Structure 1
Amino acid sequence: MPHLILIADIGGTSSRLALVGTDGVPTDIRIHRNDDFAGFEALIEADIAARPAGTRPAIGGAVLAVAGPVDGDAVKLTNRDWAFSKRAMRRHFGWQKLEAVNDFEALAYGVPALTADDLVPVGAGRAVPKGPMLICGPGTGFGVAGLLTIGRRFHPITGEGGRMRLGAVNSEEARLLAHLVRELGTPVVEHALSGSGLARIHYIFSGEKLSPEAVIAAATRREADALETCRIFLRLFGRITGDLALTINARGGVFLAGGVSAALAPFFAGSEFREMFEDHPPHQPRLAAMPIHIITHATPGLFGCGQIGARLAAGLKPGLHLV
């Protein structure tokens, strides 16, 4: 039986797991809600147990993309109280190889594999071949990555951009920041630009407590307060994305990721997102030339995990995996 690699894109709210071989193509994709599990090991155990009999002996390694830093042996999610040791995880499952990467690093690896059907453009612009690409967006938190082309290979760069300090440029944003300071202390980007941030903005400006999904559903019904919330959110999202695009000179394109970006896709065209993205004098022409796309594919991070997993699968030694 050929060796397989378990690949997992583990976010703060949900996780996507699949199997991959040397071709790098994810198969048998399964999506789980993290609230149903006590931690990483329980999630993976349940996922493997639900797969066809005989799958576990064929799995020789794993690629785990997690929403948090992956330096060193200890790995912890930024927005959920889950953690694991790479060495202990590998021993527990008997894997030959284990690769842990930041979830937006995996997403960056997956961007070149996306097609026009997986993307929704926001305004105009033309990518510069081999120019730096920016991948960012709100979900449980706010993720950021870059993708550089060096020679014939892609090289991702990652960090914790969601923890950048958040500032204000008008009275509306100043009001938002004042509330964030009282509620959370020093404001950071993901306090506002995340699923919980969308709900927080709605409460601050309307007084109504709704879930992020309920806010977007209300906006879809053209309810005024929800539309106003989305306007504020997308205006701020555009400004922060412009900041990041200037930071890495994203002439290769900007890709908006995360479940919130995809859910808000119908509202971008009528918003101030693109205007605020470009409103960074004196660099408006540079930003206006950058194409922006919303990623609407359901599991883009698994594309990138698949590329890493294919390399692991090719290097596995037959007969050494443990059951």
Structure 2
Amino acid sequence: MSDAQSDKLAFPILIGDIGGTNARFSVLIDAESEPENFPTVQTADFATIDEAIEAVVLKAVSKKPKSAILAIAGPIDGDEIDLTNCDWVVRPKKMISELGFDEVAVLNDFEAQALAVASLTHEDREPIGTLTEATDASRVVLGPGTGLGVAGLVHARNTWFPVPGEGGHVDIGPRSERDLQVFPHLRTIEGRVSAEEIISGRGLVNIYQAVCKADGLEPILKTPPEVTEQGLSGENSQAAETIDLFVGYLGRLAGDLALIFMARGGIFLGGGISPKIIDALRKPRFRAEFEDKAPHTELMKTIPTFVVTHPQAALAGLSSFARTPQSYGISLDGRHWQR
């Protein structure tokens, strides 16, 4: 492992966004070129990340990458990095010895999302509410998908500093009368309702099943896509209420994080679910829950909220870092391995 961060990783660079369900890869030949993208990988289709990289990327590129920078859905601790929501384990030393890389760097997946939030233009985001501009001030990105990722982004001295964390695992509690009816039926983790258990793909199913139980009905929908589709269409009334509650809980958490980071630069909703439910997010409930933070309601009205619509946001953020690492306050100490 390197003792200090070098200015740049050696090109060409393999860039990877590794989530619990999907893995996305691109190769950046040099600092001026556009990334070469590869088909999205289903993590369940390969036993290891190394096999996926070999099959999907290394056998297809004309110029073999010298470096790899990977964004991983899970905490980085040591040189065997477990993903939170799938069975893959990232072993940088093994990648260097067996896949032929000279160096491998690993970031948190929502650190990469934060990099994207710093670098993407207004064309890659959709405002939710009346505020449409994002200033160069502290921001937060959170994204419901397989799990719930959260990261902060602090702007100081003309530099963006991503602040990765595990904010998706904070507690969520009931506030409304309907919450008090639904919450007793939610699945919990050791007795508590964490945000990820209701603001994620499995969270949609968790809420839906709890709504059905609160109404004395037998749940008939089994998967997040079923709940989402029938909820957005209104075909199933319990699924429709699930989408409404999901949007409300996402708004509450987004507001909490905005206060924690004093995120005057905006809150950015990434992940796989937010773009799919953007019509529901445009309805009044999200901003109403977001702003309902007395005694700071007026302050909350001044903070913009956006949905990130770039289809490869994390890869774009990592590419920006790979091109100009000096623009970001990121230390690779402890997560940069070299041959």
Task: Give the TM-score normalised by the residue count of structure 2.
Answer: 0.85
2:274 aligns to what?
261
SS at match of 1:259: coil
CA distance in 2, matches of 1:229, 1:153: 40
Match of 1:8 among 13, 16, 38: 16
Residues 89-128 of structure 1 aligned to structure 2 (within 5 Å): 89-125=95-131
**1:169, distance to aligned residue in structure 2 (A):** 1.4
Match of 1:139 among 141, 145, 149: 145
Whether the 8 Å CA contact 1:25–1:303 is kept in 2: the answer is: no
- 1:289 matches 2:302: yes
Residues 199-214 of structure 1 aligned to structure 2 (within 5 Å): 199-206=205-212, 207-214=219-226
CA distance in 2, matches of 1:276, 1:201: 17
2:230 aligns to what?
218
Amino acid at match of 1:241: A
Which stretch shows the higher mean deviation, 179-188 or 103-112?
Answer: 179-188
Query: Greater helix share, 1 or 2?
Result: 1
SS at match of 2:14: strand
Percentage of identical aligned residues: 34
CA distance in 2, matches of 1:271, 1:200: 23
Residues 163-174 of structure 1 aligned to structure 2 (within 5 Å): 163-174=169-180
SS at match of 2:282: coil
CA distance in 1, matches of 2:297, 2:119: 29
- 1:35 matches 2:44: yes
2:184 aligns to what?
178
CA distance in 1, matches of 2:225, 2:298: 35
Gap change, CA 1:182 and 1:293, over 3 Å in 2: closer
Listed as ranges, the gaps of 5+ residues in structure 1 are: 313-320
CA distance in 1, matches of 2:284, 2:84: 30
SS at match of 1:268: helix
Residues 14-29 of structure 1 aligned to structure 2 (within 5 Å): 14-20=22-28, 21-23=30-32, 25-29=34-38
SS at match of 1:272: helix
1:316 aligns to what?
none
CA distance in 2, matches of 1:69, 1:23: 31
Whether the 8 Å CA contact 1:10–1:65 is kept in 2: the answer is: yes
**1:225, distance to aligned residue in structure 2 (A):** 2.6
**1:106, distance to aligned residue in structure 2 (A):** 0.6
Match of 1:303 among 316, 321, 326: 316
Match of 2:76 among 70, 74, 80: 70
Whether the 8 Å CA contact 1:67–1:77 is kept in 2: the answer is: yes
**1:114, distance to aligned residue in structure 2 (A):** 2.0
**1:46, distance to aligned residue in structure 2 (A):** 1.4
Match of 2:60 among 51, 66, 81: 51
- 1:274 matches 2:283: no
Residue deviations 1:10-64 (CA, integer Å, cap 9, x gap) = 1111111000122374222421111111121122111124414x43xx3101011
**1:310, distance to aligned residue in structure 2 (A):** 2.8
Equivalenced residue count is 310
Task: Give the TM-score normalised by the residue count of structure 1.
Answer: 0.89
**1:127, distance to aligned residue in structure 2 (A):** 5.3
RMSD: 2.2
- 1:80 matches 2:89: no
CA distance in 2, matches of 1:311, 1:118: 20
Gap change, CA 1:307 and 1:115, over 3 Å in 2: closer
2:157 aligns to what?
151
CA distance in 2, matches of 1:3, 1:265: 37
SS at match of 1:193: coil
Listed as ranges, the gaps of 5+ residues in structure 2 are: 1-9, 213-218, 326-337
Amino acid at match of 2:221: K
**1:81, distance to aligned residue in structure 2 (A):** 2.2
Residue deviations 1:203-235 (CA, integer Å, cap 9, x gap) = 221323331112221133222332211001101
